[in-house]
Structure formats: C-alpha cells, structure tokens
Amino acid sequence: MDLSSILKPEAVKVVTAASSRKRLLQEFGDLAAATYGLSAPRVAEALQEREALGPTGVGQGVALPHARLPEIDSVIGAFILLEKPVDFNSVDRQPVDIAFALFAPEDAGVEHLKALARVSRSLRDPAICTKLRANQNASTLFAILTETDKVQAA
C-alpha cells in the first residue's frame, strides 16, 4: 500500500500553534473537513474516542491517531507537522511534533491494518523524520512522505 493512495497533498499541513493533544485532534478534524468533506467535529470526536482507549503516541515524537468512520468507503489519511510539540501521552513520554492520522471505514479490517503498518514503518525511519522536521512546506512534506512509494516500487 502506497501512502500516495491514502494521502492527498491537500491533507498535509504545518500547524504553528496546537496547545494540546485535544487541539491537535481538532486540527485533524478541520483538515479532514477541508480535504475530504467530512464533519470536523465528528472526526475530532472519533479520534478522541480512540485516544481514550489508549494513546497513539508511538514514540520519538510521532503519533498515529486513527479512527473508524461509517461515512467513508476507503482508508484516507492526513498529516500534521507541529512547530511546537505537544504532550501526547506517548510510550516514551516524548512530546509529539509529527502526527499522521488515518481514517478507515467501519468494516475495513485488513486494509486499515496495512495502512497503519505502512505509515508506522515510514515514520519509524529516523532519516524520514529528520527530513520532515527540517521542512515547513506542505508540498515538500507530501513529497517526503510519498518518496518511499517510488523507492519500493523500483
């Protein structure tokens, strides 16, 4: 699964000021509304409900919030780079500045897991995270996130 198949360039954003995990999830709601036509409050609520089950901060400044939404029919994503990291109750207690949210249909079993694994694999790569943190341009961030698609296809 390629990241370019689940992430639109318009779903990549740099956020200068998110003061909390809740505010970051609201930013994802706004981004999903603007890019995919979803309800911003519904998206933020679904992400918060998932966070209540256990934090999705995977460590090293990365979070992978995700939720199932009945109104979509395929896995979609959104990416936010934070200029100022926020506490995310991550496993390593480090604040988060890289967040990739995934949204899946309610019945997307394997597809959702494959997407989550693919994003996780990319964002575990320190070189990719370093490149992401060094850039503040959304189109450059999209290119960095999807460049591994081209490498794996070759």
Residues carrying an active site annotation? 66
Strand-pairing partners, residue 66, are: 102
CA–CA distance from 17 to each of 13, 127, 135 (Å)? 12, 25, 16
Cross-strand pairs, 100: 79
CA atoms within 13 A on the CB side of 72: 24
* Residue ranges with strand state E in 21-114: 57-59, 62-63, 66-68, 76-86, 96-104
Instruction: Check if the beta carbon of residue 18 is closer than 8 Å to that of residue 42.
Output: no
